[in-house]
Amino acid sequence: MSEIYIDGDACPVKDEVLRVAERHALIVHLVSNRWLRVTESPLVRRVVVPEGLDAADDWIAEHIGDNDIVVTADIPLAARCLKKGARALGPTGKPFTENSIGMAVAMRDLMAQLRDSGEIKGGGPAFSKQDRSRFLEALEQMIQSIRRGR
């Protein structure tokens, strides 16, 4: 059975993941650098990693397996999980796939370079209700796809 891993420190859809996981009886690993408050459930495994660059990412990449799901906005973490046969989903409902991850990494690097050089400022658009709805639909589809063996 698949499990869900949440890169939890800045994830805006933790509650949504937990609702979907409850419906499908899937274990959720909430991984963060600090204890996070979420709905109590026997399906939730809180993992608090030591402070440090990429400690949560490293824990997730080490433990995730084939057909598990990671919820993250971190593109390098998504790439690491895809290499292990897992599925990756951004909090806006955009899945990362073998076909799209290369372009996502390249765009991330380009945007970082443009920010560092002062060409652009700020981040992307604010998280919206449409993002939340798109995420719920994409997570449900991903779970169904795994169950159908696709």
Count the neighbouring beta carbons within 10 Å of the beta carbon of residue 138. Answer: 16
| CATH class entry, domain 4-147 | alpha beta
Contacts of 128 (CB under 8 A, 6+ apart): none
What does the block give as tokens for 67?
């057909």
Q: Show the low-confidence residues of the chain (pLDDT under 50).
A: none
H helix count then E strand count, the chain:
5, 6
Euclidean distance between CA atoms 42 and 62, whole angstroms: 23
Nearest to 24 by CA among 139, 149, 150: 139
Q: What is the pLDDT of residues 55-95, one digit of tens each?
A: 999 999 999 999 999 999 898 999 999 999 999 999 999 99
Residue 124, pLDDT score = 67
What does the block give as tokens for 92?
């806006």
Contacts of 8 (CB under 8 A, 6+ apart): 14, 30, 31, 32, 36, 56
